[in-house]
Amino acid sequence: MRSTRKQQQGATFFSILIVLIVAGIFFSVAFKLYPAYTDNLTIDSVLTEVMNDREELAKGPSGMKRDITKKFRINQVKLPSKDSLKITRDKGIIRMDLKYEVRIPMFYNVDAMVKFEKQYEAIAP
């Protein structure tokens, strides 16, 4: 009787290397994008807090913007431009429109652009 043995085959060195390179690229991209998303979460929490604060809503748009800028400075976040946040008061409704983009250098001449847009509304006191 002749016993036939099946030869076991696993992943080769090169296939493991390719998987590690692809995983490394994904982790590198994730680590570079992470700060932009955490800053946006902080900005969102500050603006939500302002929209829920009746004393803040009683101030005019310029007073609200000044206080929001102070809160951003305390939380160490910054909007890319002054036009990123627009505050309007119309017929007893306060609206805040947040719209900005962040460019993040990835590899060589490749950049990632992350775009954030959100609108907030509250009834003026």
Q: How many CB atoms lie within 10 A of CB 80?
A: 11
Q: Which of 10, 36, 38, 24 is nearest to 105 (CA)?
A: 36
What are the extents of the domains in the chain? 33-123
Predicted local distance difference test score (pLDDT) of residue 111: 92
Predicted local distance difference test score (pLDDT) of residue 57: 87
Tell me the pLDDT of the chain (125 aa) as tens digits. Answer: 555 666 667 778 888 899 999 999 999 999 999 999 999 999 999 999 999 988 888 888 889 999 999 999 999 999 988 899 999 988 888 999 999 999 999 888 999 999 999 999 988 87
Distance CA 47, CA 15 (A): 48
Phi first, then psi: what are they for 99, rounded to 5°?
-150, 115
